[in-house]
Structure 1
């Protein structure tokens, strides 16, 4: 699969394994068809490199974390931006809980 103009930092399958999402230094998230490898859509809106991407438990939402200290929530089917969460630092590992209602972030250990 070719399409990003910078290094890819995160790749994740949808729950049903029909799609992949990739997060890149080029400030975009791309959603791919897992069978054909075709890029289905490019999600733009972050002002910094995108370090992590994750599908929700039912694959209806996609969350992306960026060096711009935001997490964006997207509709995974349409690619429509739904919400931006401002965070205090860049996040590198995000995940949804099993219900898809909460977003987990990595915890820094001292």
Structure 2
């Protein structure tokens, strides 16, 4: 199956614990959740802070991301605003 939507290189992917969703993060600065059965995009997240390098599903089904700004965010699986769990470390 092909999942299309990112405009930059996909840096990492994660499969949900139930195997029904795939998450991807990209150098385009977005995170996306996809339906594994249909290939349809379920949600897109754009913190507006640069590339996103890491992604994982939390036990409660939310999406965790980490990126260029050194911040870890928790995103609701259906879309919406992310919550900053750990703010970026200074250089």
TM-score (norm 1): 0.73
For structure 2, which runs of at least 5 residues remain unmatched after alignment? none
Give the structure 2 partner of residue 88 of structure 1: 89
Q: Distance in 1 between matches of 2:48 and 2:76?
A: 16
RMSD between aligned residues = 1.4
Give the 4+ runs in structure 1 shifted more than 2 A: none
Gaps of 5+ in 1: 90-110
The number of residue pairs the alignment matches comes to 87
CA distance in structure 1 between the partners assigned to 2:48 and 2:66 by the alignment? 9
Structure number with the higher strand fraction is 1
Structure 1 position 65 matched with structure 2 position 72: no
Match of residue 26, structure 2, among 24, 27, 31 = 24
